[in-house]
Amino acid sequence: MAVDKAVSLSIVKSELDECRGDADRYHWEISTLDEGTLSFKVKMISPIDKEIFIVSFKCDNYREWPPYIDFVDPISGQEGIKNAYPLSSDGFFHPNVLICHPCSRKAYGDFKGPHGDWRNLAVWETHPKTGALKNIRAILLAIYERISQPEIYRGRMK
């Protein structure tokens, strides 16, 4: 069942407010929320090699559906290309240019993701592999930690 846009907007605004402390602490730049598309971007810099990563979120039908998360190339502005993505020691940042996790709508088979076995977007919050990544702040922290820890971070995907 579709979530009323005003409801999604209210939730996204609230969750973005919860990110302000981390944004100050980690020097994230959070764009203005586009209330028409429920989308926004977050720029973050790897403290390891100073690479810039721009994460884009589209939160239509949130929280019924997980956000549609992608990365934007900081030079070309192209979205969803390998050069826009970080690389980690595991497959969280998937070579098919997506975050391979239940919190990422792009990973689901219905959105051409690799997980054809994930048929129901609406259960993303209770999927056993979702862990604590149940809100925007938790997702952003997971991404930031992954570009901040030398044991995990492998630079830019190419």
Partner 1 sequence: MNHEHGHGHDQELTIVIETTQGNWEETFAKTDKVSEVIEATRQHFGFSQEGNYQLKLANGETMRPERTLVSYHLKDGDYLTFVDLGVAV
Residues binding partner 1 (CB under 8 A) = 18, 88, 90-92, 94, 99-103, 107, 115, 128-135, 137-139, 141-142, 145-146, 149, 152
Nearest to 71 by CA among 57, 88, 54, 86: 54
Nearest approach, Cβ of residue 53 and partner 1 (Å): 15
Pick the closest to residue 141 from 132, 128, 150 (CA basis). Answer: 132
CB nearer partner 1, residue 18 or residue 35: 18
In the complex, the smallest distance separating the C-beta of residue 39 from partner 1, rounded to whole angstroms, is 21
Q: C-beta of 4: minimal distance to partner 1 in Å?
A: 24
3-class secondary-structure state, position 133:
coil
- Which region holds residue 129: left if phi is over 0, alpha if psi is between -120 and 50, else beta? alpha
